[in-house]
Amino acid sequence: MVNTYKDEPGILLWILGNENNYSCLGHVNPWSTDEIDKEPDPQKQRLEKARIYYSFVNEIAKEIHAADPNHPVALGNGELILLETAKQYAPDVDLIACIIYRGKTFGNLFRSLRATFDKPLLISEFGADCYDAKLQKEDQNWQAFFLESQWRLIYENLANNKEGEGNCIGATMFEWTDEWWKHNQVDADSWKVHDTESNWSNGSYYFDIEAPKNMNMNEEWFGIVALSGDEKEFGLDKRIPRKSYYVIRDFWKDPKAADKNKKTGKSR
Partner 1 sequence: MKTAKFLFLICAGILLLQGGICPLFAQDATEAALRDQILKAKNNSDIQAAFTKAKDFYFQNNKYNDFAVFLKTIVQKKNSLEVFSDYYTALARYQQLKFLEETQGWDEYFGKGNDYREEITSGLDKVIKAAGEKDPLALYSRLLSWQFHADQQDASAEDALSDLIKAVYEFAEDSKDLVPLKDVADRLLAYQQRAHAKEIYKIYIGKISSQEATSCDLEAMIVQFYNEGNIELAQTVADVFLERVAKSDSKEKSVSSLVNIARLFAFKDEGPKDAFYAEKIFKKIEEMAGNEPFDEELAYLRSFNAEKAKEFDISKSYYSNLLTRFPQTTHHDEAVYKIGIISVYVLRDVKTAKENFERLAAKETLSPQVISSLYHLGLLSQWEDDSTKARQYYDKLIEKAKDNFAETVSMAKDRLEEIKEEKPLDYNTRLFIDMALKDEYADFAMSKLDLKSDFYKPVKEKQVNISSTAYPPQSGCIQVTLEYLWSADLGKTIPTNQDNSFATSYPDSGTKVIWLIATTPSGIIDRNLDFIDVK
Q: Which residues bind partner 1 (CB under 8 A)?
A: 19, 22, 25-30, 42, 78-79, 81, 99, 101, 125, 140-141, 145, 199-202, 212-214, 217, 219, 241, 243, 246, 250, 261-268
Minimum distance from residue 245 beta carbon to partner 1 (Å): 8
Residue number with CB closer to partner 1 (41 or 189): 41
Distance CA 75, CA 83 (A): 10
Q: Which is nearer to partner 1, 111 or 268 (CB)?
A: 268
Taking the complex as a whole, the smallest distance from the CB of residue 154 to partner 1 amounts, in Å, to 18
Give 11-47 as a DSSP string. ---EEE-SSTTHHHHTSSS----HHHHH---HHHHHH
DSSP 8-state secondary structure symbol assigned to residue 254 = -
SS3 category, 65: helix
Least distance to partner 1 from the beta carbon of 59, Å? Answer: 24
Alpha-carbon distance values, 81 to 153, 248, 262 (Å): 21, 29, 32
Please name the residues in contact with 106: beta carbons below 8 A apart, sequence gap of 6 or more.
100, 123, 126, 150, 153, 154, 157
Element (H, E) at 243: helix 243-253
Min dist CB 35 to partner 1, Å, is 18
Containing H/E element for 259?
A: helix 255-264
* Least spacing, CB of residue 114 vs partner 1, in Å: 21
Facing residues of 123 across strands? 98, 171
**String of b and e for 219-248 (b: at least 16 CB within 10 Å)?**
bbbbbbbbbeeeeeeeeebebeebbbbebb
- The residue among 142 and 180 lying less far from partner 1, judged by its C-beta, is 142
- What is the Cα–Cα distance from 84 to 78, expressed in whole angstroms? 13
The residue (of 29 and 33) whose beta carbon lies closer to partner 1 is 29
Rounded to the nearest angstrom, the gap between the alpha carbon of residue 214 and the centroid of all alpha carbons in its chain is 20
CB of 69 to partner 1, least distance (A): 31
Q: How far apart are CA 144 and CA 207, in angstroms?
A: 13
Nearer to partner 1, 119 or 243 (CB): 243
In terms of CB distance, is 167 or 198 closer to partner 1?
Answer: 198
Task: Pick the closer one to partner 1 by CB: 5 or 200.
Answer: 200
* Shortest distance in whole angstroms from residue 2 CB to partner 1: 26
Q: Is the peptide bond before 220 cis (omega within 30 degrees of 0)?
A: no
Nearer to partner 1, 47 or 64 (CB): 47
Minimum CB separation from partner 1 for residue 267, in Å?
5
